[in-house]
Amino acid sequence: MSARILDGKAIAASLRARLAERVAALGYRPGLRVVRVGDDPASGVYVRNKDRAAQEAGFDSATLHLPADATQAALLATIARLNADPAVDGILVQLPLPPQISTEAAIAAVDPVKDVDGFHPLNAGRLAAGQPGLVPCTPRGVMHILAEAGVALRGARAVVLGRSQIVGRPMAQLLLGADCTVTIAHSRTRDIAAECRRADVLVAAVGRAGMVRGDWIAPGAVVVDVGINRLPDGRLVGDVAFDEAAAVAGAITPVPGGVGPMTIACLLENTLEAALARRAT
């Protein structure tokens, strides 16, 4: 193995420590509310981890849990109450939602100034327009990792694998904003391996275990693996075949311990920014 391992866990810990210091100096506790609907077990783990990290960093954090058969009206009423609550700076509706609820309607109901997921169309539009706003946590975390690793982005060829609203699209916008030449490759891309091979920076966010093989990677490329896939034997693996990729890449994020911890740290960063912006007006 030749690639440098990019330790997202350590970068996230140091970011959380810096955020905790800034929160301690504020004189109030920024408020975060995570809304969970139903009993998806993976969501349960994510929500608990977010809540715990927020509390450890000094935020006023709580989870609101609605039953699996909650109506869309009930969820929208909950969101409206949080929008109106002056103690709440950040609102996160954990996805996926049960089928009777429109994800689009739930996202659009969150006040854009409290939208710490950065999923509201207003924030997505701001990002696409190159304007300041709240940015989705996972792509923001990837940018932190690239910055910490000293990756030169200006003029670099970046390939983003996946076009989701949560990761792929905002990731491409952030890399474009950092002066990369950006390609978004996806399930309909004609020769996906050839596109990946052109990348100086490859970000994989497709949710398919080990899809990116070693011979998809240019020697010395920086590989960021956003995938978190659970194998039948219980192991967590990324979208990149790690051992093969690490033999070719210049640097690579592991799974677990790469991008995952950054997502939560950036949620806290977004919540602090939302609190500062909202309370300044």
Residues near ligand GUN (CB under 6 A) are 92-95, 117, 137-138, 166, 263
Of 51, 60, 89, 94, which residue is the catalytic one? 94
Residue nearest to ligand GUN (CB): 95
Shortest gap between Cβ of 267 and ligand GUN (angstroms)? 8
Shortest gap between Cβ of 213 and ligand GUN (angstroms)? 25
Q: For residues 150-175, b (16+ Cβ closer than 10 Å) or e, as one string?
A: ebebeebbbbbbbbbbbbbbbbbbbb
Beta-sheet pairing, 229-230 with 236-237: antiparallel
Active site residue 117: yes
Of 50, 114, 200, 239, which residue is the catalytic one? 50
Q: Phi-psi category of 150—alpha, beta or left, where left has phi over 0 and alpha has psi -120 to 50? A: left
Q: For residues 74-105, b (16+ Cβ closer than 10 Å) or e, as one string?
A: ebbebbeebeeeeebbbbbbbbebbeebeeee
Distance in Å from the first CA to the final CA of the chain: 52
Shortest gap between Cβ of 157 and ligand GUN (angstroms)? 27
For residues 123 and 183, which CB has a smaller minimum distance to ligand GUN in the complex? 123
Shortest gap between Cβ of 167 and ligand GUN (angstroms)? 8
Shortest gap between Cβ of 250 and ligand GUN (angstroms)? 28
184 membership: H or E segment, kind and range: strand 181-185
For residues 95 and 277, which CB has a smaller minimum distance to ligand GUN in the complex? 95
For residues 246 and 262, which CB has a smaller minimum distance to ligand GUN in the complex? 262
For residues 30 and 136, which CB has a smaller minimum distance to ligand GUN in the complex? 136
Active site residue 55: no
Of 89, 115, 117, 200, which residue is the catalytic one? 117
76 membership: H or E segment, kind and range: helix 72-84
Instruction: Name the phi and psi angles at 164, rounded to 5.
Output: -70, 160
How many angstroms separate the CA atoms of 216 and 56, rounded? 40
For residues 90 and 254, which CB has a smaller minimum distance to ligand GUN in the complex? 90
The CA angle 268-6-274, to the nearest 5 degrees, is 15
Nearest to 250 by CA among 146, 142, 144: 146
Active site residue 39: no
For residues 58 and 227, which CB has a smaller minimum distance to ligand GUN in the complex? 227
The CA angle 121-155-118, to the nearest 5 degrees, is 15
Shortest gap between Cβ of 180 and ligand GUN (angstroms)? 22
CB 179 within 8 A of CB 158: no
| Residues annotated catalytic, as ranges | 50, 94, 117
